[in-house]
Structures are given as structure tokens and as C-alpha cells.
Structure 1
Amino acid sequence: MPSAIPLEVRRARIAVSALFLTNGALFANIVPRLPEIKETLGVDTAVYGLLLAAWPLGSFLLGLLAAPLMRRFGSAPVAAVGTVLIAIALLCAGFAPTAILFAVPMFLGGALDAIVDVGQNTHGLEVQRRFGRSIINSLHAIWSVGAVLGGAMAAGAIALSVPVPVHLAIAGAVFSASALTAWRFCLPRTGEQSLDDTAGAAPVVPAVRPGIRTIALLAALVVIAIAGAMVEDLGSSWSTLYLSDSLGAIGAIAATGYIALIGAQFVGRMLGDRFTDRFGAVAVARAGGILIALGLGLALAFPTVPGTIIGLAAAGFGSATIVPAAMHAADEMPGLRAGSGLTFLAWLMRLGFLFAPPAVGLLAEQTDLRTALIVYPIAGAIVVLLAFTLRPRRTAASGTAHGDEERSRG
């Protein structure tokens, strides 16, 4: 009964929701300003793609620090203080006069983002345990709300011609204050029981050597997860640049592409559990892959600003359940120690964020950006082809996937 839930737990849910919102909003504030930053730095598309890889590279290399930091300080302090440090890193990136001075804070920001992500998920799972029912999906939906809010703030700043450093300073101050205020209402560290040794750690070694079939199925799930994660990369790395440079959209309009993708993804996440319960993970993932492939494919085949924004929204909606479904299937993978499949998938999924931006940038430099973006509808087609691997393989339900949902971004 909701009335039986202690007041401190209900406050903690609001507080951890605020942490998810700020995490989504901070990075989203810089995304629509990236084309301006690219112009300021004077780099070509290939170098731009490499610079964008600094964020996921930091996440991949230094995200392992999450577990020891949480053991030392607790999950809520790590999430709140890390949020403030992300704001500072993004502000430094906005001030950067050269490519290297842009890449360094982006690298550190990516590392901090991975650490904050583990911290806020860990705290959210502890709050969920106190509630006695699932709330983790709603927390990830709130992350999407934050991303939409951040994108809208950036679009407004562009429309008002607010300089990038001033805009990022204001956003950083607002969301840093929000995170620090939320920290006050989080659960005390003495109540945390969720600091699992595998959180943010290297993949767990299976209890027995898995067979070829198990390895092949896990590899397919990793590919599905990377394909789903790549759609978010499209929104954050390329949508604004494509709309502005390739299609000639003005700055504020170009920023709506990212907002459309994240907003539609939020709606998909809110409806995803209901769709999965009714139609099954395989059918929902196939439908999502079709939406990604057709939405983006048609947008690239018939390039217009409205059509591209609609295509991005279709891709966001289609991608909403793909990563969680892959994580759940990996967690139920037979022949592996409990939690091992999920940990391997979450770790390797970061490779999609790491390699996609430079790969697209290099391809765009050899051809053009519109041609290079064809990799994203192809990713949707791959989801359709491999969706059969999402069928449940254990009778025991696993709740771990909810807690580890979308560790690469929020």
C-alpha cells in the first residue's frame, strides 16, 4: 500500500528522479550547440567525429571507478557531486578554443557520466527495494524528460543568440543546484544494500566455459544493444548538424530533431512495458527495428526538414525498448553465471558509442553526411533480423535488467 511507504522513501524517490532528470538535461544542453562549437574549432567532419568519441572513450576507460567510489562515499554523493563535475566539464568544453582543449573535458565528462549513471541507478534500485515494486523504468523515462528539457533549453538559447559559454554556465548552475538539493533527500548511506561488486566492474567470469551457441547468442544480443544505442548517438552527435548543414535548417529548428528523437523515446519507454507484456519482446523489438529502418531510411531517401524530424521521432520511438530487452535476454542467458551475460553486454555496448561517431565522420568525409547516416537505418534492419534472440530462455524472472538499463547514457 502506498500509505505504508515511509515519508523518507517517498522523498528519496523524488530526489533520485531529480538526479536522473539532471543527468539527462546536462548533456542535452550541449548537443544542439555542437555545430557552433565545430565551426568555432574549425575542424572538418572527420575530426569532429573523432572529437565526439572522447565522451564515450572516457566512459569506457574510466567508468570502472564507479564501484570503488560508491564503496568509499556512497551512491547518492557520487551521483550528486559527479553531476556538478559534469556541468563543469561541459562548461570547459564550451569555452574550448582548440580541438584538444575540447576533447579533454569531453573525455572527463564521459567518464563522470558513466560513474554518475551507475550511482543514480544503484540508488534508484535501493529506493525501489524500499517501495516493494518496480520504479526503475519510470526513472529512465524521467531521464528522457530531462534530455528533452535540456534540448529545449538549448533551442531557446540558440533562438535568443545566447553565447555557448553563457548558456552552458546557466544550465550547469541550475542543474548542479538541483542535484545538490536532491542529495539532501536521498536515502542515508547506512541504508544502502545495493553496492554490488559488479556495478561498474569488469565482466564477471562465467562459472563454466560457455558453449559456442551461448557465445553466439550473447554476441547477437550485444549487436542488438549496440544498434539500439546507436540511435541515441544519431540524435546527440549528428541530427543537429545534418539538419543545419545538409538541409539548411536554422539553429532553433535544427535542435528540434534531437528533441523529437528523445521525446518519442520517452513515450516509447512509458508504453514499452505494456507492449512487451502484450506482444512479447521479439515482436516489439522487430516493430521497433522496422520503425528505425523505415523512418530514417525514408528521411534520407527524401531529404526534407519536416520529414527528417518525423524520421528521427520514429527512430526514437522504435529504439525505446531495444536496449532493455537485450539486457533482459542477456541476464537470462543459460550457461552463464547469474548476472554475467548482462555485465558483458553492458560493457561491450559502450563500443557502439565509442566507434560510431568517428566511423560516421570518416565516411562522411569520403562521401557526404547524408550518405554516411545510412548506417543508422541499417542498424534498424539488423535489429529486425536478430530480434529472435530476445526470446526468454529461463523460467525464473530476473529483475537485474531493469537496474542496468541503458548504462551508456542515462
Structure 2
Amino acid sequence: MTGLPTRTDRRARGAVMALFAVNGATYNSLVPRFPGLRDGLELSNTELGTAIAAFPGAALIVGVLAGPLIARFGSGRVAAGVSLGGAALLPLVALAPSWWALAGALFVLGISDAWTDAAMNAHGLVVQERYGRSIINGLHATWSVAAVGAGLVGAGAAGLGIPVTVHLAVVGVVLVVTSAVAWRAVLPPEHHTTPTGRPAGAGLRGVMTSWRTVAPLLAVAGLMVCSGAVEDSSASWGAVYLRDDLGAGAFVAGLPFVAFQVTMTVGRVAGDRVVDRFGAVRVARTGALVAAAALLAALLLAHPVAAVAGWALAGLGVATLFPLAFAAAGTVPGVRAGDGIAVVGFLARLGFLVTPPVIGSIADTSSVGTGLLLVPVAALGAAALAGALRSRPAGSAARGEPSGA
């Protein structure tokens, strides 16, 4: 697209940024409260990890349905509507009276997260093309800023002894209002056809039956599985590791997640320029290797300062992986952006599903630190799969959406 963005485009960019912020804050508001939720329900580490796995498990069961929903109603409306529903459900997690209730609440929240994730990324690609320049890393930077803020608020609330019900109720109200405002500013379906007039591409059935589309999507998804395992480690186990293995207090225990998100935000803010200069593959591969080395060193040193520093470097290392992977999935030849993103998002949550219970099981038989040794291995896997991010010809992208419901 040439020329300056219109007022409608700028409002849409603000709306999709708000949706990225809501998505970043929703689940991550829970992260610093996991140790307290575990102790309140008298769960083992394995039980906590299995309950957490219900969150990505929901995406594996119904996450791929985001593609047809986006094709039917438009990515903006799906993202805003489902985001609002997820924010409203957030306080229910704090009211869970048992493991089953906790896992069930996280499962429903996981459905909301999966659909919002696919829809907001698809809408971000629509807005990006209307701008005529890259904005996807900036959108993911907004997600990271919100995640950091949510982590700090959660850690502070835990340190001050504020009941988790009060904490999540207040956060939920703020996120519901933000989602409602974003609903009014997203691009309606009739604006979703890109200015270049690119075709909509194959639907979900085409994605699943053509090897020409399956192969690149599987490669991108594999990279996201490995990157997701690294990201999840700070969220699900950072606080537990520092508190149980290293004897840190409640506030310090929440810092690995916050440090990870802060540096990941910095990496995403600078990501578009760095990738333009050095290329997506080189940036992704180098970053993944940095993350692997930093986390391995932190676990071997076994000190709170080393743990915070290790996750901080890991956050910087994997900062661009998810934005680049979603962008790659949205430009697979002959595939609608919403379907491509939904499919890789569906597969990527395998990393979030498998990692928590495996680490929890190892932690119960040995230590959390021993279980976390799996994470540097996942980072090496991401480095090996970085070639999946090689750019494709601009004309091969399939970002169009239908003109209406």
C-alpha cells in the first residue's frame, strides 16, 4: 500500500494494539499467583503442572476453529468479542475449589486465548498491509508490555497479601472495558480485503490436504513449539523454581517472569529494524542459541540472581520468534492468513501443553531445576528450525478475508 494510513487505519492499529495488550495481561495476571493457588488447593507440582496444561490443551482441541470463525465474522470482531469473554472469565480461576475446577477454568480461558491469539494476529496482518510497512513486532511488543505490567501487579499483589479474588476481579474489569472499546475501532469485514487485491487463498480443508501448504506450516509450528517451551518456563515454573529450589521470597520469585517479559519487549520493539538488517533466519537462530546458553548457565549456577539474568537473556533471545513465525504462517502460498495462523497456533500449543506436566513430574521425583534442563534443549531445537522463517515472495501471501458474513 502506498501513501499515508487513513484515520480508519490508525484507529484499527490502536484497536489491535489494545487487543494484544488484553491478551498479554489476561493469562499472565495468573502467573505470579500459581504458587499460592497450588498451596491453597494443596496440590503437588505434578497436579499444578497438569492443571496448567489444560490451558494449552484447550487450544489443541478447539483452537483450529479460529480459522473458520475469522472467515465468517472477520478477524477484528472475533478478536474483540472473544477477548472480552476471556477477560470476564478471568476471576473464575481464583474461585476454583478443587483441581478439577482449576483445570476447567484454565481450559475455558485457554479457548479464549487461542481464538483471540489467531484473530488478533490475522487482524494485525491486515492492518500491517494497509500501512505498507512492518508493524507486527511492535504489536507483539505491546503484548509483552502488558504481560510485564500484569506480572508486576500480580507479584506485588502476592507480596502484599492481597487476596487473589480481589486482584483478578479488578484486572478483569479493566480488561473487559478495554476489549469493548477495541470492538468499536477494529476494521469491519468489508475492509479486510487487502489493497493489493490478493486472493483469499485456500480454506481450512486446503490447508490440511495440500503438502505444499502442510510442510511450511509444520516447520513454522515446530519452531513455535520450541519457542513456546522457553516462554512457558518463566511463566509456569520461574516462581516455583526460585521459591522451592532457591528459597526466594514471594516478590523475588516473580521476577524471572518479569525479567523475561521486559527483555522480550525490548527485543520486539527493536525487532523490525534488526530483522530488516540481518534477516529473519539469522536473528532467530542467534537469539535461540543465546537463550539456550543463558538458561543452561543459570540452572547450573543455581542462584536467584543467575536465574533472573538467565531468563532475561532468554527473553531477549526468543523475542522475535513468535512474531516472525505468525507472519510466516500468514504468507504461506494459497492459504488464508487466518487459517494459516490458526493451524500453527494450534500446533504450537503442544509446547505449552507438554512442558508443564513433564517438568512437574521431574520436579516431584528430583527438583524443579532438574526438570527445567529440558528448556535449553528446546531452545536448541528452535535454533535448528529457524530456516522455516525464510521470506517468501511478496505475491505469495494470502491475507485476504471475505467481504462480509
Write the deviation string for residues 94-113 of structure 1: whole angstroms up to 9, x where unpaired: 11110001111110100111
Structure 1 residues 395 and 126, CA gap change in structure 2 (3 angstroms)? closer
8 Å contact from structure 1 (residues 204, 343) kept in 2: no
Equivalent in the alignment of 1:272: 271
Structure 1 residues 91 and 219, CA gap change in structure 2 (3 angstroms)? same
Alpha-carbon shift at residue 2 of structure 1 (Å)? 10
8 Å contact from structure 2 (residues 242, 304) kept in 1: yes
Q: Note the 1:31-50 alignment, pairs <5 A.
A: 31-50=31-50
Structure 1 residues 134 and 400, CA gap change in structure 2 (3 angstroms)? farther
Q: Secondary structure at the match of 1:186?
A: coil
Q: 2-side partners of 1:3 and 1:324: how far apart?
A: 25
Alpha-carbon shift at residue 4 of structure 1 (Å)? 4.1
8 Å contact from structure 2 (residues 54, 106) kept in 1: yes
Equivalent in the alignment of 1:127: 127
Is 1:281 matched with 2:280? yes
Q: Which amino acid aligns with 1:352?
A: G
Alpha-carbon shift at residue 170 of structure 1 (Å)? 0.3
Equivalent in the alignment of 1:76: 76
Structure 1 residues 273 and 203, CA gap change in structure 2 (3 angstroms)? farther
Q: 377, 383, 390: which is aligned to 1:392?
A: 390
Q: 1-side partners of 2:389 and 2:55: how far apart?
A: 33
Q: Which amino acid aligns with 1:279?
A: F
Write the deviation string for residues 162-203 of structure 1: whole angstroms up to 9, x where unpaired: 10010000000011111112222223343233796878x467
Q: Secondary structure at the match of 2:207?
A: coil
Q: Which amino acid aligns with 1:392?
A: R
Alpha-carbon shift at residue 120 of structure 1 (Å)? 1.8
Q: 1-side partners of 2:55 and 2:366: how far apart?
A: 25
Q: Note the 1:157-176 alignment, pairs <5 A.
A: 157-176=157-176
8 Å contact from structure 1 (residues 32, 255) kept in 2: yes
Q: Secondary structure at the match of 1:377?
A: helix
Q: Secondary structure at the match of 1:204?
A: helix
Q: 2-side partners of 1:69 and 1:232: how far apart?
A: 27
Q: 203, 207, 217: which is aligned to 1:204?
A: 207
Equivalent in the alignment of 2:8: 8
8 Å contact from structure 1 (residues 60, 111) kept in 2: no
Q: 2-side partners of 1:356 and 1:180: how far apart?
A: 34
Backbone CA RMSD of aligned residues:
3.1
Q: 2-side partners of 1:384 and 1:68: how far apart?
A: 32
Q: 2-side partners of 1:290 and 1:122: how far apart?
A: 29
Equivalent in the alignment of 2:379: 380
Q: 2-side partners of 1:68 and 1:391: how far apart?
A: 25
Structure 1 residues 184 and 110, CA gap change in structure 2 (3 angstroms)? same
Q: Secondary structure at the match of 2:390?
A: coil
Higher relative contact order (CA 8 A, sep 6+): 2
Q: 2-side partners of 1:276 and 1:26: how far apart?
A: 29
Q: Secondary structure at the match of 2:29?
A: helix
8 Å contact from structure 2 (residues 66, 119) kept in 1: yes
Q: Which runs of 5+ in 2 are unaligned?
A: none
Structure 1 residues 362 and 187, CA gap change in structure 2 (3 angstroms)? same
Structure 1 residues 77 and 386, CA gap change in structure 2 (3 angstroms)? closer
Q: Secondary structure at the match of 1:53?
A: helix
Equivalent in the alignment of 1:349: 348
Alpha-carbon shift at residue 124 of structure 1 (Å)? 2.4
Structure 1 residues 322 and 181, CA gap change in structure 2 (3 angstroms)? closer
Q: 1-side partners of 2:205 and 2:238: how far apart?
A: 33
Q: 2-side partners of 1:355 and 1:97: how far apart?
A: 25
Write the deviation string for residues 133-170 of structure 1: whole angstroms up to 9, x where unpaired: 33222111111111111111112212321100100000
Q: 2-side partners of 1:85 and 1:154: how far apart?
A: 21
Q: Which amino acid aligns with 2:349?
A: R
Q: Which amino acid aligns with 1:382?
A: G
8 Å contact from structure 1 (residues 325, 390) kept in 2: no
Equivalent in the alignment of 1:314: 313
Q: 2-side partners of 1:113 and 1:231: how far apart?
A: 18
TM-score by length of 1: 0.85
Alpha-carbon shift at residue 234 of structure 1 (Å)? 0.6
TM-score by length of 2: 0.86
Q: Secondary structure at the match of 2:151?
A: helix
8 Å contact from structure 1 (residues 203, 344) kept in 2: no
Structure 1 residues 285 and 89, CA gap change in structure 2 (3 angstroms)? same
Equivalent in the alignment of 2:191: 191
Q: 2-side partners of 1:155 and 1:97: how far apart?
A: 22
Alpha-carbon shift at residue 329 of structure 1 (Å)? 6.3
Write the deviation string for residues 256-299 of structure 1: whole angstroms up to 9, x where unpaired: 21111111111112222333333333432332122112211111
Structure 1 residues 375 and 400, CA gap change in structure 2 (3 angstroms)? farther
Q: Which amino acid aligns with 2:207?
A: V
Write the deviation string for residues 66-89 of structure 1: whole angstroms up to 9, x where unpaired: 234345544333222322321233
8 Å contact from structure 2 (residues 15, 182) kept in 1: yes
Equivalent in the alignment of 1:111: 111
Q: Which moved more, 1:221-230 or 1:178-187?
A: 221-230
Q: Note the 1:294-305 alignment, pairs <5 A.
A: 294-305=293-304
Q: 2-side partners of 1:155 and 1:76: how far apart?
A: 32
Structure 1 residues 399 and 235, CA gap change in structure 2 (3 angstroms)? farther
Q: 2-side partners of 1:341 and 1:206: how far apart?
A: 13
Is 1:253 matched with 2:256? no
Alpha-carbon shift at residue 344 of structure 1 (Å)? 5.5
Q: Which runs of 5+ in 1 are unaligned?
A: 404-410
Q: Which amino acid aligns with 2:23?
A: N
Equivalent in the alignment of 2:136: 136
8 Å contact from structure 1 (residues 203, 343) kept in 2: no
Structure 1 residues 133 and 96, CA gap change in structure 2 (3 angstroms)? same
